[in-house]
């Protein structure tokens, strides 16, 4: 009797163990699905899935940024304008003198040259007087020469210049015997004029110094 009960218990245990094994095999393997990468049966990689997700949610793009799939045209870029390279013509060249310079007035000769030298001496004489007295003498030719020859407050005798003649009226005369003309432009500047060969003032052959 005891042997039958023992056999029955063993058989029941074997049956129970078989049932538990069968039930265990029917349950899905959650551990393998949790650790395995995304199935590739659809041909989509993890990076592709991220791109698909961003495409399905366009709100994640920055405002004002055109999307690759939106069809909006990109703004045109500003063209770069290159400056032309400078050439010698652009830089500028000093024009060369293509011809001789125009001739100047011919040099004075003869008595004209002597008159010019006398005028230079008279100009220096007035400068000496101006240094001593502070300004040029004024008046006629005779009055100016009187002041220069000592008739001034300091009794300074500063003329006549060497080689320049005085006539009987006490006037300085040019090589043709015509008195020089003194034109006071200011207290510091006097124009001195020789009448020249024609002995007439204010004509084209006058010789002038200031």
Return the domain boundaries, the chain: 111-209
How confident is the model over 131-176, as pLDDT tens digits? 999 999 999 999 999 999 999 999 999 999 999 999 999 999 999 9
Q: What is the pLDDT of residue 6?
A: 74
User: What is the mean pLDDT of the segment spanning 92-117?
Assistant: 71
The more confident residue out of 119 and 188 is 119
Q: What is the pLDDT of residue 199?
A: 94
Q: What is the pLDDT of residue 49?
A: 46
How confident is the model over 110-119, as pLDDT tens digits? 899 999 999 9
Dihedral sign for Cα atoms in the order 39, 43, 47, 52: negative
**SS3 string of 12-40?**
HHHHHHHHHHHHHHHCCCHHHHHHCCCCC
Task: Answer whether residue 20 shows pLDDT above 50.
Answer: yes
Residue whose structure tokens are 């551990």: 31
Tell me the pLDDT band of 44, cut-offs 50, 70 and 90.
Answer: very low
Burial (CB < 10 A; 0-12, 13-18, 19+), residue 147, is: buried
Distance CA 100, CA 135 (A): 44
Q: What is the pLDDT of residue 33?
A: 46
Q: Sheet of 181-184: strands edge to edge?
A: 181-184, 190-194, 207-209
Torsion, Cα of 81, 85, 91, 93 (10° steps): -140
Instruction: Classify strands 207-209 and 190-194 as parallel, antiparallel or unpaired.
Output: antiparallel
Q: Name 54's Cβ contacts closer than 8 Å, sequence gap at least 6.
A: 60, 61
Is pTM, for the whole model, over 0.75?
no
Is the bond leading into 105 cis (omega within 30 degrees of zero)? no
Bridge partners, 181 (sequence order) = 193
* Lowest mean pLDDT, pick from 34-38, 103-107, 180-184, 197-201: 34-38
Fold of 111-209: Glycoprotein, Type 4 Pilin (3.30.700)
User: What is the mean pLDDT of the segment spanning 186-194?
Assistant: 91
The more confident residue out of 23 and 188 is 188
């Amino acid at each position: 009797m005891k042997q039958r009960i023992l056999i029955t218990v063993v058989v029941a245990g074997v049956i129970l163990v078989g049932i538990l094994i069968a039930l265990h095999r029917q349950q899905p393997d959650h551990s393998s699905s949790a650790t395995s990468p995304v199935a590739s049966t659809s041909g989509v990689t993890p990076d592709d899935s991220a791109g698909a997700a961003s495409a399905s949610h366009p709100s994640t793009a920055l405002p004002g940024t055109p999307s690759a799939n939106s069809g909006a045209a990109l703004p045109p870029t500003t063209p770069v304008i290159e400056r032309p390279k400078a050439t010698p013509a652009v830089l500028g060249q000093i024009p060369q003198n293509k011809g001789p310079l125009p001739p100047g007035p011919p040099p004075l000769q003869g008595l004209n040259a002597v008159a010019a030298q006398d005028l230079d001496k008279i100009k220096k004489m007035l400068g000496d007087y101006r240094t001593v007295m502070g300004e040029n003498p004024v008046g006629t030719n005779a009055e100016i020469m009187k002041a220069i020859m000592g008739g001034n407050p300091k009794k300074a005798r500063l003329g006549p210049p060497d080689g320049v003649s005085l006539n009987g009226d006490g006037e300085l005369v040019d090589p043709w015997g015509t008195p020089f003309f003194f034109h006071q432009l200011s207290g510091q500047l006097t124009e001195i004029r020789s009448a020249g060969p024609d002995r007439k003032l204010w004509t084209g052959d006058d010789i002038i110094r200031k």
